[in-house]
Structures are given as C-alpha cells and as structure tokens.
C-alpha cells in the first residue's frame, strides 16, 4: 500500500490514460487533469505548435513545470504525457507525490487506437510502428521503475480497463490529504 494524495497515470500514447483516467477520477472523487491539456491552456498553443516553435526540449520544460505545480496539490488524478518519464526529476516527483499507475499497451494496440492521429508531433513520421517501438524501448523501463501498479489495457475497452483499475486501486491505494 502506498498512501498518496494523488493518482498519477503513466504509459505510452494510446494506453488509455485520458479515457480511463476520467472515469477513475470520478469514481474516487478526484479532479482529473490531463497534463498535455494543462500545458496547452497555459501556453495558449497546441502541442504541435509548441513543438514547432520551441522544440521538444522547450515542451519538456513546460511539462516539468506543469507536473511540479500539479503534484504540489492533492486530490488530483494526473494523466501525464507519454514522455514525462524521460526526466529523472519528473520520475522522482511523481513517486513522491502520487500513487503511480502504469497503463501498459502493446505497439500493435497503439497503432490500432491511434489510427491517423495527427496531433502527436513525435508520431508524424512515415513509419509509426518503428517510432513507437523505439519509444517503447526507452520508456518502458522508466514506466516500470516508478509504477506502484501496472495494468495491461491491451484488448480491453475503456469500461473494462476502468473496472479492473478501480478494483485494484481499492485494494492497493489509500488516499492521503497531503504529503511531507
């Protein structure tokens, strides 16, 4: 049991962090925050526009600032961007201020779920499968490193994945009001 003031969802693009996260947040009376949407609102620009104007490094700075602000609060379900785990400081902060749930999904399922998605700058390449496999090779060990709980979402529609996660959280997570 890892008592924490927040739930933090991590995992690759297409794992279900947003769709599952909204339902789980409602069940546990948490405020749902999608970090990417939070950044877009604050910056006043879309993710593709941010990548175009400030690059991935600039976007990652916005991401770290957003995570620091959100993780300093309590009562949140924070759906992170897929690359948030790339920064060691982000990983440390998520572990300190949240119960971290890794939503795992295969590259094959990602490809099906993402279809022709055009709002993810790192996937705007001719060979999406290769890009996703390369990302997975780097990121999967980082997701696993900080996860308090891992849930496979392959082959599960969002309601089933949500029910599974809610059941597991009821057994393994205790919400606290704040942290030291």
Spatial separation of the C-alpha atoms in residues 129 and 139, rounded to whole Å: 15
Query: Does 42 count as an annotated binding residue?
Result: no
Name the 3-class secondary structure at 41.
helix
Spatial separation of the C-alpha atoms in residues 90 and 65, rounded to whole Å: 9
Query: Does 17 count as an annotated binding residue?
Result: yes
Query: Does 95 count as an annotated binding residue?
Result: no
Query: Does 18 count as an annotated binding residue?
Result: yes
Helices (H), ranges, the chain: 17-27, 35-43, 47-71, 88-97, 107-114, 128-146, 158-172
Spatial separation of the C-alpha atoms in residues 124 and 142, rounded to whole Å: 23
Query: Does 97 count as an annotated binding residue?
Result: no
Query: Does 176 count as an annotated binding residue?
Result: no
Query: Strands of 76-79's sheet, edge to edge?
Result: 31-34, 76-79, 7-10, 99-104, 149-152
Pairing of β 99-104 and β 76-79 = unpaired
Query: Does 120 count as an annotated binding residue?
Result: yes
If we measure between CA atoms, which residue out of 118, 82, 78 comes closest to residue 98?
78
Query: Does 55 count as an annotated binding residue?
Result: no
The two three-digit tokens of residue 87, written as one number: 């920064």
Which residues does the annotation place in the binding site for Mg(2+)? 18
Which residues does the annotation place in the binding site for substrate? 36, 60, 139
Which residues does the annotation place in the binding site? 14-19, 36, 60, 120, 139
Which residues does the annotation place in the binding site for ATP? 14-19, 120
């Amino acid at each position: 049991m890892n008592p924490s003031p927040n739930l933090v969802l991590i995992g690759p693009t297409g794992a279900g962090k947003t769709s599952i996260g909204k339902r789980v947040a409602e069940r546990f009376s948490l405020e749902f925050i999608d970090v990417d949407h939070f950044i877009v609102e604050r910056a006043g620009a879309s993710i593709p526009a941010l990548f175009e104007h400030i690059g991935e490094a600039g976007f990652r700075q916005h991401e770290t600032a957003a995570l620091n602000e959100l993780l300093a609060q309590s009562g949140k379900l924070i759906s992170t961007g897929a690359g948030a785990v790339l920064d060691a400081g982000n990983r440390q902060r998520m572990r300190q201020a949240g119960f971290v749930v890794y939503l795992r999904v295969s590259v094959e399922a990602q490809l099906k779920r993402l279809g022709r998605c055009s709002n993810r700058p790192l996937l705007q390449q001719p060979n999406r499968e290769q890009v996703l496999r390369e990302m997975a090779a780097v990121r999967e060990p980082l997701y696993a490193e900080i996860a308090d709980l891992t849930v496979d979402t392959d082959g599960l529609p969002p309601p089933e994945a949500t029910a599974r996660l809610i059941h597991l959280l009821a057994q393994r997570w205790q919400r606290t009001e704040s942290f030291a």
